[in-house]
A and B are shown apart, each in its own frame.
Chain A
Amino acid sequence: MASVGKIARRTFLIGAAAVAGGVAVGYYYYRKPFPNPLEADLGEGEATFNPYVKIGADNTITIVAPRAEMGQGISTTLAVMVAEELDVGLDRVKVEHGPASYAYYNAAILEEGGPFAFFDESMTAQAVRSGLGVVGKFLALQGTGGSASTRDGFDKMRQAGAAARQMLIAAAAQKLGVAATDLETADGSILHKASGKSLTYGAVAAAAAAMVLPAEVRLKDRADWKLLGKPQKRIDMLAKVTGAPIFGIDVRLPDMLYGTVKMSPRFWSRPVKADLSRAEKMPGVIKIVPLETNYGHGFGIIAENTWAAFKAAEVIDAQWSDPEYPLSSAAISDVLKQALGTKGSVMRDNGDVDSAFADAPRERIVEADYTVPYLAHATMEPMNATAQLRDGALDIWCGNQAPTLVRQLCANAVGIEQDRITVHTTFMGGGFGRRVEVDYALCAALMAKETGGRPIKVTWTREEDMRHDAYRPAAIGKFQARLGDDGMPVAVDMKMASPSVIAGMLRRLFPSISPLGPDKTIVDGAYDQPYTIPNYRVSGVAAPVSIPVGSWRSVGSSVNGFFHEGFMDEIAAAGKVDPVEMRKTLMAAYPSAVKVVEKVAAMAKWGEALPAGKAKGMAFTLSFGSWVGEIVQVADTPAGIRIEKVWIAADVGTALDPGIIEAQLISAAIYGLSAAMGQEITFADGVVEQSNFHDFDAMRIFQCPVFEVAVLENFHKMGGVGEVGTPPAAPALANAIFALTGKRIRTLPLSKEVAFA
């Protein structure tokens, strides 16, 4: 891994911000707390203890879970952290997302942004990690992503609950005239056993909130947890089975108008000629306005209903300027190949790779070229936002993964101060990284300037959504290995080229910051894997293609999980070594990894003979702090290849809700399998060729395999959950297809080579 000297000289990119040479943020700033945003908006008789807890005089307990719920169950798990320490059941509390506020910054989202593998616990790695956490606070990014929410919340939300409980006990002790140590809490009340007296939290909330914050907060031992560590009923489930209006697209306001957008089908292009007359005359159309945002140019259609807006958008007749990027998928591929031929940034360099290959006999060399396409997020809920601009103040309602960014960019776009903007974050009909972007909010905010103060809900068509994403970038990789006498690899050289996600996000979200240094996401999932190979080099090159690219569930690991683990399977096949045994040997220095591999192999009965026409493939990826092994079993059927069964073993360090974790691992695996089976975004004439679910589909229920999941807790640090099941899914499937058919497929989607049942 990187040495101290290299770090001092190197600049590197983290999350969505560039930091030169590490960290330069004052300790004082880091320590200084942000104001509590709940103080501004308390109800009658309501008291707040910190940004996470409010208690009313009627004993209504409200917990703020300030991370976006996109299906991953985070609102439940964060609320449980507070409830556990506050000593109340989940059914006793109300959970809110809360306002957009810097108080809710996510430190963990950036902590793994340095050039270190998760298992690297050298002093340098730890120092940079905690430094980057400080940067997280400095940027005050209230974001949901990087599978970071539970890791970020685990200490601070439990502390918030515990501190509030201690203050409530102290206030009750004063009121009852007894010692605090003689008081107990249960279910929202404080009891004095000796006298039988009790007070509700609400009865002492106002007095408690006025007390000095405790100097020391004691957290429960894990053995005393009543809620954490056990599957909980999700707080959002009832609303979701009754069709309650909880999504951005469900917002309804008095006197509301409806709209849609027609943005340039070529990214960044401007309209050179536009005839709006036909569209303007369509029934129900009120007005068509030009739109110009950090994301590109186009038109907003304001109408009496969504359908009228959709119909009008179809007949807008515009010509768009020539794009600044290559027009076709073939031309983009040429740029990637060219980039791969240039000098890359080396992110892992063990031993002496060049010497190891210099004298290698031809028969000991394994070589392979890998390719993956651009991918859309295709959330079930198309992009949308509702906005109202009245008296110089903007209200905006939308599902989003970064409310402080929505506020900041809408302020710039509309030309008002941030404190004149209220962001109402709704539940999201899927996020997967798409709703880190704010284009849908910017369009609605700009259109709200044109409605004379009336609110407007702006809904994109699926076609507009599919063709205006911040895509998972295409990538190519070149791989080489030298095998030893025993068939095990003694040297590997891996190099990949891809457009930079970080550069793409900076252009849209922080246009004033220019990218510095290499983009670590290009090599994530390849340079940071727990394998020991004496000569091991991984380098990455950013390819200059400016089609918008962004965070797609597991980001770089979605690419490199496939590359790295496909190639590992090739090495095993060439060396005539069992792929599971090979991994166990190469991972010997990382016991958590070995245990995951052993577990998933045992679950799948790896090594036992299968009937003819069936085969298994295995893959492993460490990402977002969790160690995940997956085995896929496929069968040859007359209708094509059927994915029969998937086994997943994941070491997440500490499992806070096993039920939600299981659901997330399966979800992420299906997301990865869907992409591997058939998804790709291609370009012709600078325009995305796919438009809807008929040509960008995902796994259906009749294709869904049976899953078996084991959640392990061996590693001493907590890992993320929302994304970690995705990276090993594609390579495990491709490796299974190799085992079944002998065909090594190195280009996704697999449907280019095989049919799926």
Chain B
Amino acid sequence: MRLTVDGQSFDIDADPDMPLLWALRDLIGKTGPKFGCGIAACGACTVHVDGQPVRSCSLPVGQVSGAVTTIEGIGTAGRLHPVQQAWLEEQVAQCGYCQAGQIMSAVALLDEVADPSDADIDNAMGGNLCRCGTYPRIRSAIKKAAALKTAGL
């Protein structure tokens, strides 16, 4: 089976029923997406398939035909995505475990809505659980990221 992840092509030998998350983590070595629940209830595993946010813990790898983007594919330490930059400036993360999923949901939101309202944020981010309660800073960071993106930074 062939999988394109973060612009790179991988040949993997996986049970087609294996969730994309475990193919990424155990077979390809992309540990950015996290395992949280296994039932698409917490969003920690969120990645993009052809730009659309999906819960990789509940998507069989055999059904993935598009290009997969993980947190590791949107920016690097030296060249952060505006959403990552905003997360850094707002000092969002506490334990940090859910944040890869939060950031991937936020990136998808901003790709669709350049200047999201509070209601847009509630709708797009409601599936991403954070047990540290970083929500107030997530909200501020999304607004800051929208401004950074609009300014072309």
Residues in A lying within 8 Å of B, measured CB to CB: 69-73, 231, 233-234, 236-247, 249-250, 252, 258, 283-284, 305-308, 310, 378-382, 427-432, 459, 461-463, 659, 663-664, 666-671, 674, 692-694, 697-702, 704, 706-707
Contact = CB atoms under 8 A, between A and B. Distances in A.
Given A237-B88, A378-B131, A306 B41 contact: no
B132 A238 contact: no
Which 9 interchain pairs have the tightest Cβ spacing? A243-B32, A670-B133, A429-B97, A71-B95, A240-B96, A71-B94, A243-B71, A702-B122, A240-B93
Contacts of A459: 35
Given A306-B26, A380-B95, A700-B126, A693 B132 contact: no
A305 B22 contact: yes
Nearest to A236: B96
A357 B118 CA distance: 53
A674 B131 CA distance: 9
Given A704-B135, A707-B136, A427 B80 contact: no
Given A305-B22, A671-B133, 14 more contacts: A71-B95, A71-B132, A241-B99, A244-B32, A380-B36, A432-B131, A462-B37, A463-B38, A667-B134, A692-B37, A692-B38, A694-B39, A701-B121, A701-B128
Interface centre among A241, A258, A463, A692 (most CB of B within 10 A): A241
Contact of B31 (A234, A250, A668): A250
A380 B44 contact: yes
A709 to B, nearest CB: 10
B32 to A, nearest CB: 3
Nearest to B105: A701
A668 B41 CA distance: 22
B37 A693 contact: yes
14 contacts: A237-B91, A240-B96, A240-B99, A242-B32, A243-B70, A243-B71, A245-B31, A306-B26, A380-B98, A427-B95, A427-B96, A430-B95, A693-B42, A701-B138
B71 to A, nearest CB: 3
A236 B38 contact: no
A261 B75 CA distance: 35
A306 B29 CA distance: 13
Interface in B86-104: 87-88, 91-100, 103
Given A283-B15, A307-B22, A666-B133, A693 B41 contact: yes
Contacts of B95: 69-71, 379-381, 427-431
A644 B27 CA distance: 45
Interface centre among B41, B76, B95, B139 (most CB of A within 10 A): B95
Interface centre among B39, B80, B126, B128 (most CB of A within 10 A): B39
A690 to B, nearest CB: 12
Given A380-B34, A380-B97, A307 B39 contact: no
Given A243-B71, A667-B134, A692-B39, A71 B129 contact: no
Given A240-B96, A247-B97, A380 B130 contact: yes
B139 A701 contact: yes
Interface string B119-153: 00111011011111111111100000000000000
Given A70-B95, A239-B96, A380-B131, A663 B34 contact: no
A693 B98 CA distance: 14
Nearest to B104: A243
A149 to B, nearest CB: 15
A377 B34 CA distance: 18
Nearest to A232: B91
B96 A246 contact: yes
A247 B99 CA distance: 13
A692 B41 CA distance: 8
A240 B98 CA distance: 9
Interface string B19-33: 100100111010111
Contacts of B35: 249, 306, 382, 459
A258 B26 CA distance: 9
Contacts of A659: 91
Contacts of B126: 700-702
A233 B90 CA distance: 9
Contacts of A671: 131, 133
Nearest to B85: A241
Contact of B93 (A237, A382, A692, A693): A237
Count class of interface residues, chain B: 35 or more
Contacts of A231: 91
A307 B18 contact: yes
B8 to A, nearest CB: 15
Contacts of B18: 305, 307
Contacts of B71: 242-243
B46 to A, nearest CB: 11
Given A71-B96, A305-B26, A704-B136, A380 B122 contact: no
B94 A667 contact: yes
Contact of A701 (B25, B42, B44, B135): B135
Contacts of A428: 95
A308 B29 CA distance: 16
Contacts of B100: 243
Contacts of B34: 247, 249, 380-381, 429
B85 to A, nearest CB: 8
Contacts of B132: 71, 380, 430, 667, 670
Contacts of A664: 94
Nearest to B86: A241
A659 B130 CA distance: 19
B77 interface: yes
A664 B22 CA distance: 32
A725 B91 CA distance: 19
Nearest to B41: A693
Contacts of B80: 241-242
A430 B97 contact: yes
A701 B125 contact: yes
Contacts of B103: 241
A698 B71 CA distance: 24
A694 B42 CA distance: 9
Contacts of B92: 237, 241
A239 B136 CA distance: 21
Contacts of A706: 136
B133 A669 contact: yes
Contacts of B94: 71-73, 663-664, 667
B74 to A, nearest CB: 9
A427 B34 CA distance: 14
A380 B70 contact: no
A236 B93 contact: yes
B104 to A, nearest CB: 9
Contacts of B115: none
Interface centre among A240, A664, A699, A701 (most CB of B within 10 A): A701
A238 B92 CA distance: 11
Interface centre among A427, A429, A461, A697 (most CB of B within 10 A): A429
Given A242-B71, A258-B26, A306-B25, A693 B129 contact: yes
A69 B77 CA distance: 21
B36 A462 contact: yes
Nearest to A700: B126
Nearest to B75: A242
A640 to B, nearest CB: 15
Given A241-B103, A307-B22, A700-B129, A663 B91 contact: yes
Contacts of A308: 15
A382 B132 CA distance: 14
Interface in B49-80: 70-72, 75-77, 80
A72 B126 CA distance: 23
A307 B130 CA distance: 24
Contacts of B77: 238, 242
Contacts of B97: 247, 379-381, 429-430
